Amino acid sequence: MDARVDPYRLLGLDLGDAHVIRNAGGVVTEEVIRSLAISQHKLGTTEVVLIGHTRCGLEGLDGDEFAAKLDEQTDQPRDWSIGAFEDVHQSVRDGIERIKQSPFIPNAESVRGFVYDVNTGALEEVT
């Protein structure tokens, strides 16, 4: 969801070339799996590219503390995780694994992950 990241420019795509799913931290949630499943089963996409980025607000965030503040401020039930993580590269690896393990993603062999450096513009593949 970060405004510093333009996935179309990064990947040399034109508008309409790809389905782009954006969320805080690029974390692979159930909602992301749902969207990917629809994209592949209904709309025929065959590849998934997961992109995290440096200087992400969720990297190093104390997710439990943040969740407690939200819960206290809103006094509302929350059925979603904050998704904080310690290392963006590991978060991308974890996301790739979640996608590949999902029974709802038929083209799991075509999943790649990258980390975009917001300072340099470099795109590094995560293996």
pLDDT digits (tens, 9 = 90+) for 113-125: 999 999 999 999 9
Mean pLDDT of the chain: 95
**Pairwise CA distance, residues 4 & 121, whole Å:** 10
Total tally of structural domains belonging to the chain: 1
**Pairwise CA distance, residues 13 & 7, whole Å:** 8
- Identify the domain containing residue 25 by its residue range: 7-126
126 forms beta bridges with: 113
23 domain-assigned: yes
2 domain-assigned: no
Cβ-based neighbours of 81, under 8 Å, separated by 6 or more? 29, 63, 67
Total residues found in the chain within this entry: 127
pTM: 0.92
19 domain-assigned: yes
CB atoms within 10 A of CB 18: 15
1 domain-assigned: no
